[in-house]
Amino acid sequence: MSNPVLDLGNSANWEQLYFTSVDAVGANSALFVPIPPITVPILIESHIIALSITSTNAKSSWNFGGLLSQKVALGLTVGGLPDSAAIQKYKLYLNHLTLLILPKLTTNYSVEVAIPKWFKQVSLVLWQYIGTESDTTEDLINQIKTVDLPRIEGKIDSINDVLGG
């Protein structure tokens, strides 16, 4: 399995795709309806994303920011509605950037974020990585093609010259 080689530290390699701020609907300050899952209304193309979850009324002891589900279209119709499947859930942290490298199963996908039921307010920002991407296997193949192979061919040519071939 190869490892990705990315330039994550360059802010030009990130594109903000989505921002929302949602308040829970409440009858009073003690009683409220939990925030429903937030479905990002954009198909995402990069399998490398970052999310920020913040809450203006979060307690300092709160660390959990929610669960992200990656959803892919299956091309099936169930009960007259197109179907999609959540592949895996990823834990998000409150007041921290969460970097996710998702599996490359399709050319695009959607995400849904389940917010903890005790949140009365939440803000969510989603970025996708748009920088260049290579992996260690590709880098090694390119090194063989551009450095090692010409060097070996040069040595073979030298041997042929010595042998008179």
**Per-residue model confidence as pLDDT tens digits over 28-37:** 777 889 999 9
> How confident is residue 72, by pLDDT bands cut at 50, 70 and 90?
confident
Q: Which helix (H) or strand (E) holds 97?
A: strand 97-101
Residue 79 has pLDDT above 70, yes or no: no
Bridge partners (DSSP) listed for residue 127: 16, 50
The reply to whether 106 falls in a domain is yes
Residue 2 has what pLDDT? 61
**E runs forming strands in the chain:** 4-6, 14-23, 25-26, 32-33, 38-39, 48-54, 64-78, 81-93, 97-101, 110-114, 121-129, 133-135
- Cα–Cα distance measured from residue 113 to residue 82, given in angstroms and rounded to the nearest whole number: 20
The reply to whether 90 falls in a domain is yes
Residue 8 has what pLDDT? 76
> How confident is residue 127, by pLDDT bands cut at 50, 70 and 90?
very high
- 119 burial (CB, 10 Å; 0-12 / 13-18 / 19+) is buried
Structural domain tally of the chain? 2
Percentage of the chain modeled with pLDDT above 90: 51
- Segments forming the whole domain that contains residue 100: 13-132
Residue 135 has what pLDDT? 64
116 and 160 together in one domain: no
> How confident is residue 139, by pLDDT bands cut at 50, 70 and 90?
low
Q: How many Å from the N-terminal Cα to the C-terminal Cα in the chain?
A: 42
**Per-residue model confidence as pLDDT tens digits over 87-111:** 789 999 999 999 999 988 889 999 9
122 and 78 together in one domain: yes
The reply to whether 2 falls in a domain is no
Residue 54: CATH number of its domain: 2.60.120.1300
